[in-house]
Structure 1
Amino acid sequence: MNSIERIPPPVRQLRLVVETEDYEAAVTFYRDVLGLVEREVIQGEGDARITILEAGRATLELSNPAQVRMIDQVEADGQPSAKLRVAFEVEDSQTATRDLVAAGGTLIAEPRETPWRSLNSRLTAPDGLQITLFQELDPAAEPSGPE
């Protein structure tokens, strides 16, 4: 059997940087309510602050306009999504959606089953970032559908 030498990928991490006016509310929303794990907190001069939250496996999903329109139809009854939308896989999209709305998120669409067998909801976070929450309905399957 041939041994194939593994070459590390050129990109090691995807980091999404979100500027937020209400830093404390954003930390509460993403860390305390959504459950992202705090990895690092840095404070700088002039009240500069950053919290780096671990969000599990990162992927970059590139979709053409036709695909985005189809996803918008399935997830949000055709309401157009933002140019940038962040999707989080959660254990229970019903509960996570309810909790994030209670924490200041604005509901765009209630959780609904998609053709790719996930339960998706859409919200706007207090910082203005549009997010999708998705729960895989076939837990043994590797995520493969659009979010």
Structure 2
Amino acid sequence: MATTKLKGNIVNLAGNEVNIGDKAPKVTVIAHDLSEVKVGGKAQIIAAVPSLDTPVCAEETRKFNEDAVQTDVEVVVVSMDLPFAAGRFCTTEGIENLKVGSDFRNKDFANAYGVLVADGPLQGVTCRAIFVTNEEGIVIHKEICEDITDEPNYEAVFNAIK
């Protein structure tokens, strides 16, 4: 079972572990307007965050929103937030250059990508993780942040798509 940390304490991750070289699972998450957002199967930067309502997740989403305009690769941020809360966050923060999706219904994304926090205080949300997929939907970069409170390595993410 894969693990990460929350403020230095080990937490287990549930679901199917996806690694570099694997075909990224195709799943659907829900946008703020309740439409569907497709994850997997094409060139994407997929950022899993626990909740947009935390400082680190908000900063990460703002950073990807700024950098998304510099690439042709679709950026999708996935959290367990309700779609309405995600929509309010995007409106308030001016998030317009990426897609934000909620995995609240069935946790399909979290289970398919192996990023579901299985225990500890954040049990039931996604850990902080990044997957970069190429045009064929193959994972070419993966980062499960060492601690859920850490931001990802943005430079490595954008180097992977060059």
TM-score bucket (shorter structure): under 0.3
The answer to which structure, 1 or 2, has the higher relative contact order (CA under 8 A, 6+ apart) is 2
Q: TM-score, normalised by structure 2?
A: 0.26
